[in-house]
Amino acid sequence: GQNIDQPTEMTATEGAIVQINCTYQTSGFNGLFWYQQHAGEAPTFLSYNVLDGLEEKGRFSSFLSRSKGYSYLLLKELQMKDSASYLCAAMDSNYQLIWGAGTKLIIKP
Amino acid sequence: GAVVSQHPSWVICKSGTSVKIECRSLDFQATTMFWYRQFPKQSLMLMATSNEGSKATYEQGVEKDKFLINHASLTLSTLTVTSAHPEDSSFYICSARDMGLAGGGDTGELFFGEGSRLTVL
């Protein structure tokens, strides 16, 4: 079956770095997405990886290893506004997104 | 960047009435749009895939006669919740794929609308 695993909750300190891991199993693979979702709002796109390696975009970076079925989202210089849920989603061979349950990130001063 | 507009953001209706939610791609054409539903503290669940000019493809367990989807143009898809009941109260979100931003194949970046929170009394 198709499955996405990511931690339920993580806590980090303002100014620090945090890495949110995601493992996936899908029927075919057409890329891995990371979205940020604040409570009561729609998700916003953060990154898309389809090739192995690290994609850096400002304070956020995303890494993909297709052979391991593994991705991570790296957040640097954490700010209080980064407190949100981070959703990992893999696109299968039918271009459907398989969503993880999300990781709730709590930032402490 | 590409923008998807969803309307209305909030809607409260009486049980038994119908509610229409619109999803528009503002600066790109979207042959495919997706409709999701999110219950509190749960992940997004895909309800259906809306294809311009053809019938929508519904996920298992989603009643197509209750959740009517119309994708009449390349920039507009609508979801109508017919005869709404309190259990239909949820956060409904649409998304569209900007094929012009595809990095390879036909995998385009996905953009989400702002979401519509439906409360059925």
The CA-based dihedral angle spanning residues A51, A70, B94, A82, taken in that order and rounded to the nearest 10 degrees: -100
Q: Which residues, 6 or more positions from B75, have their beta carbon under 8 angstroms from its beta carbon?
A: B24, B25, B26, B29, B30
Q: Does residue A31 sit at the B interface (CB-CB below 8 Å)?
A: yes
- What is the pLDDT, as a whole number, of residue B119? 94
Q: Which of A7, A8, A10, A6 has its CA nearest to residue A108?
A: A10
Average pLDDT over residues A60-77: 97
- What is the pLDDT, as a whole number, of residue B2? 65
Cβ-defined contact of B43 to A45 (cutoff 8 Å): no
CA B118 to chain centre: 13
Average pLDDT over residues A73-77: 98
- Residue of A33, A50, A99 lying closest to B43 (CB–CB): A99
Q: Which residues of B touch A30 (CB under 8 A)?
A: 105, 107
Average pLDDT over residues A73-89: 96
Instruction: Give the pLDDT confidence of B71-98 residue by residue, as tens digits.
Output: 888 899 999 999 999 999 999 999 988 7
- What is the pLDDT, as a whole number, of residue A5? 96
Q: Are A72 and A20 within 8 A, CB to CB?
A: yes
Residue B103: pLDDT over 50: no
Average pLDDT over residues B93-113: 68
* Percent of residues, chain A, with pLDDT higher than 70: 100
Instruction: Give the pLDDT confidence of B1-42 residue by residue, as tens digits.
Output: 568 999 999 999 999 999 999 999 998 888 889 999 988 777
Instruction: Give the pLDDT confidence of A5-55 residue by residue, as tens digits.
Output: 999 999 999 999 999 999 999 999 989 999 999 988 888 889 989 899 999
Q: Does residue B114 sit at the A interface (CB-CB below 8 Å)?
A: yes
